[in-house]
Amino acid sequence: RTESSVKPRGALIVLEGLDRSGKSTQCAKLLSFLEGLGHPTELWRFPDRETSVGQMISAYLSNKSQLDDHTIHLLFSANRWEKRSLMEEKLKTGTTLIVDRYSYSGVAFSSAKGLDIDWCKAPEIGLLAPDSVLYLDISPERAAERGGYGDERYERVEFQKKVADFYQTLRDSSWKIINAGEAMEEVEKKIQEVALDKVKECTKGKPLSLLWLS
Ligand code: T5A
Ligand code: NA
């Protein structure tokens, strides 16, 4: 019978939050947790600085190049589109993807610069919608106290405050707000709970959907 040969799909789990909210730290922990339970899992990140588009983005972020605000926005979006078909293939063949930043970063950061929010969303329409968005919530002031802050273009407290406001306008039912000011182990446990629920839902046949259409 054909149904029994169809693999359960993987979950698309996105971590979002201000710079230094702890996303990369928690993505790595979640990867080993899900792998430890035997779920095929990969860790992805945006920007993906490995591609040629990603290298342009990386040069811009480290202030080695200057680009018009609209241009860099479209490059961030193109960087997600160039991975879209592989993303769908991975999910449909049963791999759960943990993604460090996604379209919400794209829209929140560019809108915070003053670009129109609907214009920012437009190129993201049709990308795969996450099954779960874990928003690591921390004040810009506390994030700034953490290691390495201030090295890249957007790492200024005033700007991060605007980004936080735009993130709030993007919240939908796929979001869970996680208090990222707690100890790493506490944050880790909360993320594990939500992620595991989602992985199970997807195994049971939760359909994939597309961004910004609902
Ligand atoms: N961007 C991104 C856009 O403008 N548009 C887009 O479409 C996209 C995708 C680069 C920039 O690009 C912008 C947003 C960004 O400004 P990036 O490469 O993800 O994006 O940025 P990074 O610099 O790599 O990462 P972040 O600055 O966002 O940091 P993280 O990953 O949130 O934080 P992490 O895990 O590295 O932790 C930071 C520090 O805090 C400590 C860690 O040990 C580390 O030292 N820490 C904690 N300390 C105390 N308590 C805890 N609970 C802690 N958790 C972590
Ligand atoms: Na990071």
Evaluate whether 195 touches 189 at the Cβ level (below 8 Å): no
**4 — pLDDT class (breaks 50, 70, 90):** low
Q: What is the pLDDT of residues 19-40, one digit of tens each?
A: 999 999 999 999 999 999 999 9
Superfamily for the 2-203 domain: P-loop containing nucleotide triphosphate hydrolases (3.40.50.300)
> Can you tell me the distance from the alpha carbon of 12 to that of 195, in angstroms, rounded to the nearest whole number?
9
**What does the mean pLDDT of the chain come to?**
95
Residue 209's pLDDT is what? 96
Nearest-atom index, ligand 1, CA of 26? 35
Q: How far is the CA of 188 from the centre of ligand 2 (A)?
A: 16
Alpha carbon of 104 to those of 53, 69, 172: distances in Å? 19, 17, 11
Positive or negative: CA dihedral 27, 33, 37, 38 = positive
Q: DSSP of 126-151, one letter per residue?
A: TSBPPSEEEEEE--HHHHHTSTTTTS
CA 107 to chain CA centroid, nearest Å: 11
Q: How far is the CA of 10 from the centre of ligand 1 (A)?
A: 25
Helix, strand, coil % in the chain, rounded to nearest 5:
50, 15, 35
Ligand 1 in contact with 166 (CB < 6 A)?
Answer: no
Please name the residue that has the structure tokens 């005033």: 158
SS3 category, 181: coil
Which of 16, 18, 19, 21 has the most ligand 1 atoms within 8 A of CB, as the residue to mutate?
Answer: 19
Evaluate whether 14 touches 130 at the Cβ level (below 8 Å): yes
SS3 category, 212: coil
Please name the residue that has the structure tokens 């919400």: 104
- Residues 154-158: what's their mean pLDDT? 92
Closest CA to 91 of 46, 32, 132: 132
Nearest-atom index, ligand 1, CA of 47? 9
| ipTM surpasses cut 0.95 | yes
Q: What is the pLDDT of residues 52-87, one digit of tens each?
A: 999 999 999 999 999 999 999 999 999 999 999 999
47 upstream amide cis, omega within 30 of 0: yes
**149 — pLDDT class (breaks 50, 70, 90):** confident
Hey, what are 37's tokens? 């339970």
* pLDDT beyond 80 at 88: yes
Residue 147's pLDDT is what? 78
- Residues 135-157: what's their mean pLDDT? 90
Residue 7's pLDDT is what? 79
> Can you tell me the distance from the alpha carbon of 101 to that of 49, in angstroms, rounded to the nearest whole number?
13
Domain boundaries, the chain: 2-203
> Can you tell me the distance from the alpha carbon of 130 to that of 211, in angstroms, rounded to the nearest whole number?
8
CA neighbours closer than 13 Å in the CB half-sphere of residue 42: 13
Q: What is the pLDDT of residues 157-179, one digit of tens each?
A: 999 999 999 999 999 999 999 99
SS3 category, 68: coil
**142 — pLDDT class (breaks 50, 70, 90):** very high
